[in-house]
Amino acid sequence: MLKKLFIAIVAMALVVPAQAQLKGLGKSLGKAAKTATKAVGDVAGDMATDMAANSVSDKIVEFMDTNNNVVETDSDYYKRLESLVAANYTSVDGLSLNYKVYQSDEANILSLANGNIRVYTGMMDLLSDDELLAVIANQIGHIANKDVRDALLKVASEDNASNATGKQLEKMLSLSGDKLGSIINELIQIPYTETQNKAADSYAYDLLKKNGAETDALVSMLKKFAELETVDVDSDDASAEALAVAKYIGVNAGNSARASLVASK
């Protein structure tokens, strides 16, 4: 009798933990399923936001190209740019890159979430070929890291990108004329964060290195901007170069520290 009782107790000891394990497993599977569902939803939401950002960017770049002096494809400026990017800088993460040159003394370069990059002749005059390729690689980094898209989200959500949605971006598709121009002016003046700039610099370094380009040019480009960054553009003795590059530096600051970081690679 005692032997039978002992066997029954052992059997219960074996069954109860197994049931508890199954119950725990059920909870774990349920939690995993919820996590997976959320992940899928996040990816789908991110893709929808990307599509909306690209549609708005299409509208923005059309306005920009209409309201700027785009140089002809047979010009020396365009030929120089094309020769630099034609081989290895025509796409990023499956997104085709489109380049045009704006005739302007302003030393600037602009990029949009849809892969459009616009280079000002003032920037081309300021930099060597290798440095120009480096600043382009840096812009590609900002596109790949979705910094440009996030800047657009900030504009759409009144500086709160974390709460921005594709629907907010889609509202911008109805804008035109002065309203769209105001949006563009706001967009191109949103500064990149220190973290964003460092990540874009790292991306540019790897991209240049992969393509056999001069990575030292990334350092010299950043140092050149660092020198101009220290100039007081409101002073009477501000150089024409400092004035020309002021808008670019306003968005891409901390160039001295960034140059040191890249040089240490």
Query: Is 240 among the domain residues?
Result: yes
Beta carbons within 8 Å of 117's beta carbon, 6+ residues apart: 97, 98, 99, 100, 109, 110, 111, 136, 139, 140, 143
Query: Is 31 among the domain residues?
Result: no
What does the pLDDT read at residue 35?
45
Mean pLDDT of the chain: 85
What does the pLDDT read at residue 164?
59
Query: Is 111 among the domain residues?
Result: yes
Query: Is 120 among the domain residues?
Result: yes
Task: Please state, in angstroms and rounded to a whole number, the distance separating the CA atoms of residues 19 and 254.
Answer: 60
Say how many domains are in the chain: 1
Beta carbons within 8 Å of 11's beta carbon, 6+ residues apart: none
Q: Judge contact between 115 and 96, C-beta under 8 A.
A: yes
What does the pLDDT read at residue 13?
43
> Where in the sequence is the domain holding 159, given as residue range(s)?
46-263
What does the pLDDT read at residue 43?
45
Query: Is 174 among the domain residues?
Result: yes
Q: Which amino acid is at 188?
A: I
Write out the chain's pLDDT in tens, 265 residues: 444 444 443 444 444 455 555 455 555 545 544 444 333 334 445 788 889 899 999 999 999 999 999 999 999 999 999 999 998 999 999 999 999 999 999 999 999 999 999 999 999 999 999 999 999 999 999 999 999 999 998 888 876 555 656 677 888 888 889 999 999 999 999 999 999 999 999 999 999 999 999 999 999 999 999 999 999 888 887 899 999 999 999 999 999 999 999 999 9
What does the pLDDT read at residue 41?
37
What does the pLDDT read at residue 235?
87
Query: Is 1 among the domain residues?
Result: no
Q: Which one, of 118, 130, 119, lies nearest residue 217 by Cα?
A: 130
What is the secondary structure of the chain as a DSSP string?
-HHHHHHHHHHHHHHHHHHHHHHHHHHHHHHHHHHHHHHHHHHHHHHHHHHHHHHHHHHHHHHHHHSS-BPPTTSHHHHHHHHHHTTT-SEETTEEPEEEEE--SS--EEE-TTSEEEEEHHHHHHS-HHHHHHHHHHHHHHHHTTHHHHHHHHHHTTS-GGG--HHHHHHGGG--HHHHHHHHHHHTTPPPPHHHHHHHHHHHHHHHHHTT--THHHHHHHHHHHHHHTS-TTSTT--HHHHHHHHHHHHS--HHHHHHHHHT-
Query: Is 4 among the domain residues?
Result: no
Task: Please state, in angstroms and rounded to a whole number, the distance separating the CA atoms of residues 136 and 138.
Answer: 5
Query: Is 16 among the domain residues?
Result: no
Q: Judge contact between 126 and 107, C-beta under 8 A.
A: yes
